[in-house]
Amino acid sequence: MSATLTLAGRRRKRPIGRYVRIAGGITACIMFLFPIFWMVLTSFKMPRDIFTTPPTFFFTPTIETYTSYLQHADIPNRMLNTVIVACGAGLISIAAGSMAGYALARIKVKGLATMGALILLSRGVPPIALAVPMFLVARNLGLTDKHITLILAYCTFLIPYVMWLMRGFFKALPEELEESAMLDGCSRFGAFFRIIVPISLPGLLSTLIFSVILAWEELLFALVLTNRYASTIPVAIAGIAGDSVNGANWGALTAVGTLTVLPVVVFALLVQKWLIKGLADGATKG
């Protein structure tokens, strides 16, 4: 009798716990997504509707902010610069970081673990401490306001991130894969590119996605190392926030912010299959 009561009590607790988890997930989604929703909503408001108290959800939408501001803010060119820099930094970082991660995972060399830890510790250096030396070096070489300068600057904080993520993927793979390939005549590099890279493709793609997103939203290096030609969209948003004497131009800020977020959302939706697969493989292997 007591066992029956205990089993019935457990059955009653399970639905309650499930509903609590669902409610918590919905609450968290609302908290994270509501600022984005409000930004998009505000971008279609007239100035008089933006500052109404209490805020209004029902208004006559307009695209005047988009059409009037984008014509003189050079937003399309800066968006193109952001795509070039983010994709370039992501691809270079995934190429260099994956090979470094493979070395940390496979090659047995004295002091290699210490070297990897030091590279990881470089992520703890404040970016502002690196921005000024990078600017001085770029100025002396005549490389300020260049796409390649910004790409290499982004690689300094993306490569350690890629290296340690890919190290986990590579350590989860059995070493017998490379040993078999090398017995068949492959070199270490041949085994890496022909065997390990195809198997680790979901992890490479998911890491590339995160790297591109991190580079897409970076502001400090772009603000210091560029002026106009290679300036990115975060710099444009910072300029909009400070170009008004009477306060921030919220209509322009939300419009450009919406245009900045939209490509990332579309990109994430297009690659979500590989992203989820890569994250799932990283969580279950090993």
Instruction: Answer whether residue 284 shows pLDDT above 50.
Output: no
Question: Token pair of 2, please?
Answer: 């007591």
* Mean per-residue pLDDT of the chain: 81
pLDDT, tens only, 72-83 = 667 888 889 999
Neighbours of 243 (CB within 10 A): 11
Q: Give the pLDDT confidence score for residue 65 in this predicted structure.
A: 80
Question: Token pair of 128, please?
Answer: 């502002």
**Selection from 217, 205, 216 nearest residue 279 by Cα:** 205
Instruction: Answer whether residue 283 shows pLDDT above 50.
Output: no
**53: confidence class by pLDDT, cuts 50, 70, 90:** confident
Outline where DSSP puts E strands in the chain.
none
CA angle 267, 221, 141 (to 5 degrees): 120
Q: Give the pLDDT confidence score for residue 140 in this predicted structure.
A: 92
Reduced to 3 states (helix: H, G, I; strand: E, B; else coil), residue 173 is coil
Question: Token pair of 124, please?
Answer: 């703890």
Tracing tokens 């470094």 back to the chain, one arrives at 100
Q: Tell me what the mean pLDDT of segment 51-59 comes to.
A: 80
Instruction: Answer whether residue 231 shows pLDDT above 80.
Output: yes
pLDDT, tens only, 72-119 = 667 888 889 999 999 999 999 999 999 888 888 887 777 777 777 777
Rounded Cα–Cα distance for residues 219 and 208 (Å) = 19
Instruction: Answer whether residue 63 shows pLDDT above 70.
Output: yes
Percentage of the chain exceeding pLDDT 90: 14
